[in-house]
Amino acid sequence: MAALEAAKAGATPMMEQYIEIKSANPDSLLFYRMGDFYELFFDDAEKASRALGIVLTKRGKHQGDDIPMCGVPVHAADDYLQKLIGLGFRVAVCEQVEDPAEARKRGSKSVVKRDVVRLVTPGTITEDKLLAPSESSFLMALGRVKGNADQCLAMAWIEISTGIFRVAETTADRLAADIFRIDPREVVLPDTMFYDDELKPAFDLIGRIANPQPAALFDSASAPGRIARFYGVATPDSFGAFSRAELAAISGAIAYVEKTQKAERPPLAHPEREQSGSTLFIDPATRTNLELLRTLSGSREGSLFRAVDRTVTGGGARLLADRMMSPLTDPEAIARRLDSVSWFQRETRTADALRQCLKGVADMPRALSRLALNRGGPRDLGALRAGFDAARAAAELFEAAELPKELDAALAAIKALPAVFADHLYNALADELPLLKRDGGFLREGYDAELDEMRALRDQSRRVIAAMERDLIEETGIRSLKIRHNNVLGYYIEVTANHQAIMNGSDEAKSRFIHRQTMASAMRFTTTELAGIETKIANAADRALAIELKAFEALSLEAVEHVETIRAGADALAVLDVSSALAVVAINEAWSRPQVDAGLAFDIEGGRHPVVEQALRREAGAPFVANDCDLSPGEGSRTGAIWLLTGPNMGGKSTFLRQNALIAILAQMGSFVPAKRAHIGVVDRLFSRVGASDDLARGRSTFMVEMVETAAILNQATERSLVILDEIGRGTATFDGLSIAWAAVEYLHEKNRCRAVFATHFHELTALAGKLERLHNVTMRVKEWEGDVVFLHEVGKGAADRSYGVQVARLAGLPDAVVQRAKAVLHQLEEGETSGKANRLVDDLPLFSAAVRREEPKPVANDALAKSLSTLVPDEMTPREALEALYRLKELAANR
C-alpha cells in the first residue's frame, strides 16, 4: 500500500482517484467502474486474472512501468464475484456517484466522482446468483469482556439475506464447536482477540474465514448507542437483557454491516438471545466425522442432510439444516416438533396438497432483503406475490383442522400476512416479470392510466396519429387531410391549397390551426393538441419507464414496511415445509417416532444408518442389516451402559457406531428416526471419534490428533453425554495403545459415567467386562465358509475371538504370496504367544523373498488332473458323459 501512495505522485487524474480509493480499501479487490466494465489495476489485476482465468492486459504506463489491468463486464459481474468470494477474496465495488455532465462542468479533463458503494464479503452477500438456495450464509461477530481472572465471550450471527439475528454466550473451550455449529461464511472479531494465545486453537481451526477488525467496533461501552442508532430506537433495552460480551458481539456485527453496506441498511430482525444449553453440544471433530451437512470431501452428496432433505423450498432447506446442526435438549420442545411430523404422517392428503402449494414459493426473506438494500428487481416483488398466493392456499388447507401447537402457531403467522399489500402486488404486477427494473414492462395493464397512455404512444404511435387524423377529417369534412411527419417540422397537418379557406375561415379555426408551411399545392398546419401528442410520443418511452420505476420504489417501500410480518409468514411456511418433508421421509423410509424424555435411556431397536441404507438400496438393491443398541441404565443403576464392540474390519463397526450417533441427532432435532423403536434420554453432549486423520500443517501426526480428540472427550463428557469411540490407541506401539485404550475405558466408566460405545481390536479389553459392572461385550458376527470370511453385519453379545485381518487383506486384493506369508507369520505369533517362543520368530521363519520363491506354482505337465482336463471335449459330450467326467475330476482333485 505504501507503493500505491508513492505512485500518486505524477499520476493521471483518473489513476490518482483509483489509488486514493484503493488506499482506503487495502484488504479488498477494487472493482473500479469505467463505462460498462469493472476494471482492476496493479496487484489487484494480477490476483484477479489468476483467480478468474481472464486476460491480464495493461493500460499505459505509470512511473515508467506498464500498469497491469484486467476487467469484467458489469452485466456479468455477479458470476465473477461468486468465484472470487468462493476463493476467499473480498471485493470493494466502486461506482460513479455523479452524472458525467456534472463532471464536464468542472473542466474537460475532470474525472467523474467515484466511491465505494459496497464491500462484498463472504458473509454479506445478498445476490441470488451468489447464494445457494438451501444454504444459509451467516456472518458471525465475536465479542469479549475481560474480567479479573477470566474472560466472558459471546457470539452474534446474522444472515443479511434473510434478516436472522441471534446472539449467545460461549466459552473458550467450546468456541470452536459453537462456530462449527453455526457454520458461518465469515467471522469478524477484534484484532486483539485474534492474537490471543488462549483462543488461537479455535481460530486455527476455522482458517481463512476469520477476519480481524479494529477493536473499537466491538466496544461494549458504546454498543448500546450503536445498536439504538441502527434500529432507530431510544434504547435497545426492549430487545432483551444482554451481557456486556453479548452487546460487544452485537455491536461488532452491526458495525461490520454498516461498513460493508455503506448507506444501505438491511432489514435485520431484533437480536434474539439463545439460551445456554438449549442445543446439543457437538464438537468440531464429531461434526466432521458424522458428515452432517457435508462429507469429508466437502460434498453434500452422501451427507446426512442429503439423505433427509425432502423440502421443496429454499427456506425449508435452510431451516432443516439449522435444526440438524443445532438439535434441542428440551424434551417438550422436541415433542412439539415431533407432533407436527406425526400430524402430517397421518394427514397424507393434506401434506401432499401443501407441498404442491409450496413448490411455487420463491425465497421471500431474501427477496425482501434485496428490496430493502435497493438491489432488488421486479422478480423479487414477484417472489413476495407468489409467497402470498401460496400462503393463502396453505391456510385454506388447514381450515377447521385440529392442529398441534407448532402448526397452529405457523398458521397464525400465515394468516397475519398483509392481505392489502398482497392484493396491491397482484393488481400492480404483470404475469411475466423482467429480471431488471430498468427494462420496464413489469406493471400490469390498467394499473396506471398515464402509464397505459405512454405505452400506447410508445408502442402504437401510428395508430394514435391515425385516430387523430380520422377525427380531424370528420370534424372538418376534408377527406384529403393527412397528418404527416418529417425531421424538420415533426408532425403536421397537410391539406390541399383549395381547402385553405376551411382552415383559415373563422377566427376559431385560425386560433386552432397554426400555419407552419405553404407549398405549391398544399398547406401545412399544426395544432396545440398535435404538438402535445408529438412531445408525448417523443418522451413516451422515458416517461413510461419513469412511471414504472416510481411505482417499483413505492411497492418496495411498502414491502419494507411489512418486513416483520412477511418474515414471520415466510418462517411459518418453512416450518410447514420441514414438518411435511420429515413426514415424507418417515413414510417412505419406514422411520418411527422416537420417545425422547429427561431420563438416561438409550434403547434403539432395529436401528439403521440412514445414509448407508439409502445408498445400498440405490446402488445394489440390497437391504440394510438393522441392529439394536441398548445403553440404558440397568436395574439399580443411575448411569448408562458402555458397550465394548469387537469384530473384524469390514464387519460394520464404524457404520454401527455412526448410526447410533445420527439417530440421537435426528431424534433431538425433531425428526422420526431409522429404527423400529427408539427411546432416548436427552443427550447434552455428543462426541464421536471415528476414523483417522492427521494435521501436518500444525505438526500433528494421526496418533497425536487422535489423542487430542480423545482428551477433549474425556475432559468434557458428562453422565448425560453419548460417546462414540473407535480404535483408540491403534496409532502407536501395541502395548502403549492397549494401555491407553484400557485406561480410557476405565475413565469413561468411573469418571465420565456416560453412555458409550467403544470399538476396539484390542481383545484383551474384553476382560474388563468382569470388572466394570456397566461394561458389556458385544461383537460384529461373522461366519467362515471354506476358508473365506462372511460378514453378517449383525451385532451380538460376546467378544470376537480374532480380527480376521488377513482375510480382509485377501479380499482387498493383496498378492496371494503376501497373504500366505501373513498367515504363516500370524500362526507363529499366535503359537509363540502361548509357548513363550515369539522372540524366535525371525530365526524360525525364512526371509520373505525365500517364501515367495518357495510358493511359486509348480509345473503341472505330469499332473493327472491336468491330463484328464486336457482330454475333455465339452462340445462333443452328452449331458450324462459331462456329469460322469465331473465326478472323475472331483475324485482326482481329492486324491491330488
Which residues are documented as binding site for ATP? 647-654
Q: Which residues are annotated as a binding site?
A: 647-654
Cβ(535)–Cβ(387) below 8 Å: no
Name the one residue in this structure whose C-alpha cell is 506369508.
821
The grid coordinates listed for 52 are: 478468474
State how far the alpha carbon of 644 is from the alpha carbons of 258, 758, 780, in Å: 55, 5, 11
CA 189 to chain centre: 22
- C-alpha span between 483 and 492 (Å, rounded): 6
Q: How far apart are the two ends of the chain, measured CA to CA in Å?
A: 85
**Three-class SS of 828-881:** HHHHHHHHCCHHHHHHHCCCHHHHHHHCCCCCCCCCHHHHHHHHCCHHHCCHHH
CA 704 to CA 717: how far, in whole Å? 20
- Alpha-carbon gap, residue 338 to 341, rounded angstroms: 5
Closest CA to 383 of 361, 357, 413, 359: 361
Residues 496 and 480 sit within 8 Å (Cβ to Cβ)? yes
Residue 779's SS3 state is strand
Evaluate the CA torsion angle 505, 508, 513, 516 in order and state its sign.
positive
Closest CA to 59 of 71, 51, 50, 49: 71
Burial 331-359 (b: 16+ CB within 10 A, else e): beebbbbbbbbbbbbebeebbebbbebbe
Cell triple for 732: 502407536
List phi, psi (to 5°) of 362.
-85, 180
Query: Which ranges of 53-174 does DSSP label H, i.e. alpha helix?
Result: 77-86, 100-105
| Dihedral angle sign, alpha carbons of residues 496, 498, 503, 504 | positive
- Specify the amino acid at residue 94: C
Cell (9 digits) for 196 = 490471543
**What phi and psi values does residue 377 have, to the nearest 5 degrees?**
-135, 180
Strand partners, 523: 495, 518
Sign of the Cα torsion 709, 714, 718, 723 reads positive
Which of the 8 DSSP states describes residue 62?
A: E
> Which amino acid, 825?
V
User: Which residues sit opposite 518 in a β-bridge?
Assistant: 523
How far is residue 881 from each of residues 511, 868, 877, 886, 893, measured CA to CA in Å?
124, 14, 6, 9, 18
